């Protein structure tokens, strides 16, 4: 592998996520929440490719809640891969941003929950997405905007897919963020091997070549995700390539 | 006299000193004009390199965090090349920015088609809520840039050009100015087209209106001027694609039987180099070409 290995975090707590934190929803509730949208009891791997990464981020990493959704000091999570947002809506519901009662209306004319999310309609959604290759460039701008205001605390996260990385706009963003050493910028790239021509040498190598801290891990392993998400990366932006089942 | 683009450099640099909310985002073009500003405000002057999609997206990301970005490159690379970023990262995200272009329709005539953007205003017209300033003089450019920078979170396009009128006209943003009153029809001149229009209509008894802000379109002033004339004839003279404002004019006059002549650059690609003066003449936007067509219309 050509991935860059950061030193392991000092203490990676093992399985510290709880089943039902404070009476809320747990990980095992996410698929039933998705079923409210899809009508299906089970979801294929493509529909859940982002589910584990999203859960670990919102459950253990991101410092944002419904109460701090407008706080300048909050962490920003930008879902760039806006296609197939059921897992995202399920996690936002589990974390209290989106009312559960909205889910059955998914995609309906009167529903705020579309097949691609809209930040103007859904609480907690930082960007409207759907057209690929916008979220990471927007995240670069957000990191620069926060830095220009002296807000060095908030982390900025963008979630992309490996096929989405085909978009040239992402390469503009990867290069600039690496060159500028945007330390508060983070990317989680869900790799289900759906890029049309693949990424020779792996996706992480593209980021590492531009000066990013880059890790590749099992995108279904919550502790591995947590460890990679929280790995230190001083002076550099950080990408976590989360490998999941290849898309058919 | 400095150019509008020079003035943008000096005014924006000063505005950065005055307003901590402002940022300047560049893609190499004109970065030499911001050397000192970048030293004074290293985090609020960002040159993304030759990456125009990123230029607009970075501005949007900054706006999402509360800044007001001034975004600049040539018109062809600011509006046309990253148009989806304008549509999605600014409009769809519901954030504002000030896009400041240079080059306009034919400033860089010898540069050829790649550096000409006669369709920029028409493209922005497909989107909601854009204020479009087309100054006709560097002093107007300064006033409009200052207004745009302080204009809340609005989406503003400032179209700078090397083509200028001999003297500025003081116009409140959003209003058209009556420059001359007449009875035989109304001619609306946009930005740098004012002096050519005044020359072309010298000796004709027409009303001349001037617009340095073309969106919003001051329908009330156009409506009143056309009703005051003896004949409900309106000529639009714009320094970009002919007919760009025709729909706005027709809507302003929806309750009046009227005629509209739209003058501007032609849709056909002018596959010639030369000077801006050559291109202005080729599009019939010099005083002689304007006079011939305006006379033909009003006498027809």
For residue A6, pLDDT over 80 is answered with no
Q: ipTM value of the model?
A: 0.97
* CA–CA dist B298, A212 (Å, integer): 66
For residue A14, pLDDT over 50 is answered with no
Residue A21 DSSP one-character state: G
Residues B151 and B60 in one domain: yes
* CA–CA dist A108, A120 (Å, integer): 16
- Please state the rounded mean pLDDT for residues A7-21: 43
Residues B189 and B153 in one domain: no
pLDDT tens sequence across B239-282: 999 999 999 999 999 999 999 999 999 999 999 999 999 999 99
Residues B23 and B105 in one domain: yes
CATH code of residue B227: 3.40.50.920
Q: Give the domain range for residue B102.
A: 4-159
Residues B18 and B144 in one domain: yes
For residue B76, pLDDT over 70 is answered with yes
Preferred mutation among A137, A176, A177 to probe B, highest tally of B CBs within 10 A: A137
> What's the number of domains chain B is made of?
2
Q: By mean pLDDT, which of A43-47, A58-62, A199-203 is the weakest?
A: A43-47
Which of B44, B85, B88 is the closest to A148 by Cβ?
A: B44
Residues B153 and B183 in one domain: no
Do the domain assignments include residue B207?
yes
Q: Do A173 and B57 touch (CB under 8 A)?
A: yes
Do the domain assignments include residue B70?
yes
Do the domain assignments include residue B229?
yes
DSSP B140-182: HHHHHHHHHHTSTT-EEEEE--S---SS-----TT--EEEE--
- Angle at B163 (CA atoms; ends B158, B168), nearest 5 degrees: 75
Find tokens 């990385």 and name the residue. Answer: A165
Residues B214 and B290 in one domain: yes
For residue A91, pLDDT over 50 is answered with yes
Query: B94 CA to chain A: closest CA distance, Å?
Result: 7
* CA–CA dist B201, B292 (Å, integer): 10
Do the domain assignments include residue B255?
yes
Task: From B129, B159, B189, give the residue that closes a domain.
Answer: B159
Task: From B125, B159, B193, give the residue that closes a domain.
Answer: B159
Q: What average pLDDT is seen over chain B?
A: 98
Contact status, residue B162 vs residue B116, Cβ threshold 8 Å: no
pLDDT tens sequence across A205-242: 999 999 999 999 999 999 999 999 999 999 999 999 99
Do the domain assignments include residue B169?
no
Contact status, residue A168 vs residue A136, Cβ threshold 8 Å: no
Do the domain assignments include residue B172?
no
- Please state the rounded mean pLDDT for residues B125-136: 98
- Please state the rounded mean pLDDT for residues A152-157: 98
Q: Do A140 and B57 touch (CB under 8 A)?
A: yes
**Residues on chain B touching A76 (C-beta within 8 angstroms):** 64
Do the domain assignments include residue B166?
no
Residues B262 and B126 in one domain: no
Residues B153 and B221 in one domain: no
Preferred mutation among A72, A78, A147, A148 to probe B, highest tally of B CBs within 10 A: A148
Task: From B126, B159, B192, give the residue that closes a domain.
Answer: B159
- Element spanning B13, H or E: helix B4-18
For residue A12, pLDDT over 80 is answered with no
**Residues on chain B touching A168 (C-beta within 8 angstroms):** 53
- Please state the rounded mean pLDDT for residues A98-104: 98
pTM: 0.95
Residues B14 and B154 in one domain: yes
Higher pLDDT, A47 or B126: B126
Residues B78 and B107 in one domain: yes
Q: Quick one: what percent of chain B has pLDDT higher than 70?
A: 100
| pLDDT given at position A41 | 87
Q: Do B53 and A172 touch (CB under 8 A)?
A: yes
Q: Do B93 and A128 touch (CB under 8 A)?
A: yes
pLDDT tens sequence across A19-49: 445 558 999 999 999 999 999 988 988 889 9
Residues B139 and B29 in one domain: yes
CATH code of residue B148: 3.40.50.970
For residue B185, pLDDT over 90 is answered with yes
Residues B33 and B143 in one domain: yes
B45-47: strand order across its sheet: B45-47, B22-26, B68-74, B97-102, B155-159, B130-133, B213-215
Contact status, residue B259 vs residue B233, Cβ threshold 8 Å: yes
| pLDDT given at position A15 | 44
- Please state the rounded mean pLDDT for residues A173-188: 98
CB atoms within 10 A of CB A38: 15
The structural domains of chain A, ordered by start, are: 45-83+126-243 (3.40.50.970)
A72 near B CB under 8 A: yes
């Amino acid at each position: 592998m050509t991935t860059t290995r950061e030193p392991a975090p000092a203490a990676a707590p093992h399985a510290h996520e709880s089943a039902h934190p404070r009476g809320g929803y747990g990980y095992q509730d996410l698929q039933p929440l998705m079923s409210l949208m899809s009508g299906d009891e089970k979801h294929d791997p493509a529909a859940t490719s982002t589910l584990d990464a999203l859960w670990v981020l919102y459950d253990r990493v991101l410092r944002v809640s419904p109460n701090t959704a407008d706080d300048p000091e909050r962490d920003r999570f930008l879902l760039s891969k806006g296609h197939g947002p059921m897992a995202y809506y399920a996690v936002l519901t589990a974390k209290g941003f989106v009312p559960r009662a909205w889910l059955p209306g998914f995609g309906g004319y009167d529903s705020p929950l579309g097949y691609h999310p809209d930040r103007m309609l859904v609480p907690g959604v930082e960007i409207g997405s759907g057209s690929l290759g916008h979220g990471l460039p927007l995240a670069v701008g957000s990191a620069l905007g926060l830095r220009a205001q002296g807000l060095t605390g908030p982390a900025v996260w963008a979630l992309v897919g490996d096929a989405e990385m085909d978009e040239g706009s992402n390469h503009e963003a990867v290069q600039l963020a690496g060159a500028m050493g945007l330390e508060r910028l983070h990317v989680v790239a869900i790799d289900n091997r759906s890029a049309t021509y693949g990424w020779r040498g792996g996706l992480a190598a593209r980021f590492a070549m531009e000066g990013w801290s880059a890790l590749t891990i099992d995108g279904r392993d919550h502790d591995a995700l947590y460890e990679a998400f929280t790995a230190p990366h001083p002076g550099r932006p950080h990408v976590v390539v989360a490998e999941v089942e290849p898309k058919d | 006299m400095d150019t509008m683009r020079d003035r943008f450099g000096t005014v924006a640099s000063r505005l950065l000193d005055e307003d901590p909310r402002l940022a300047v985002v560049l893609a190499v073009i004109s970065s030499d004009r911001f050397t000192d500003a970048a030293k004074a405000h290293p985090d609020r002057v960002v040159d993304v390199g030759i990456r125009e999609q990123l230029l607009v997206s970075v501005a949007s990301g900054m706006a999402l965090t509360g800044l007001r970005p001034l975004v600049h490159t040539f018109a062809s690379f600011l509006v046309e090349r990253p148009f989806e970023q304008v549509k999605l990262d600014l409009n769809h995200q519901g954030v504002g920015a000030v896009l400041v272009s240079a080059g306009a329709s034919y400033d860089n005539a010898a540069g050829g088609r790649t550096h000409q953007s006669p369709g920029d205003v028409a493209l922005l017209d497909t989107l909601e809520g854009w204020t479009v300033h087309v100054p006709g003089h560097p002093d107007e450019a300064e006033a409009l840039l200052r207004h745009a920078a302080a204009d809340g979170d609005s989406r503003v396009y400032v179209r700078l050009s090397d083509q200028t009128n001999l003297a500025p006209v003081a116009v409140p943003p959003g209003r058209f100015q009556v420059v001359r009153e007449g009875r035989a029809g109304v001619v609306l001149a946009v930005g740098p087209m004012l002096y050519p229009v005044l020359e072309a209509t010298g000796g004709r008894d027409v009303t001349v209106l001037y617009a340095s802000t073309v969106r919003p379109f001051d329908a009330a002033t156009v409506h009143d001027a056309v009703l005051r004339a003896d004949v409900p004839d309106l000529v639009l003279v714009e320094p970009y694609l002919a007919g760009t404002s025709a729909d706005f004019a027709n809507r302003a006059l929806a309750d009046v039987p009227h005629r509209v002549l739209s003058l501007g650059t032609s849709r056909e690609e002018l596959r010639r180099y030369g000077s801006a003066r050559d291109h202005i003449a080729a599009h019939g936007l010099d005083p002689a070409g304007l006079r011939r067509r305006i006379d033909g219309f009003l006498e027809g």
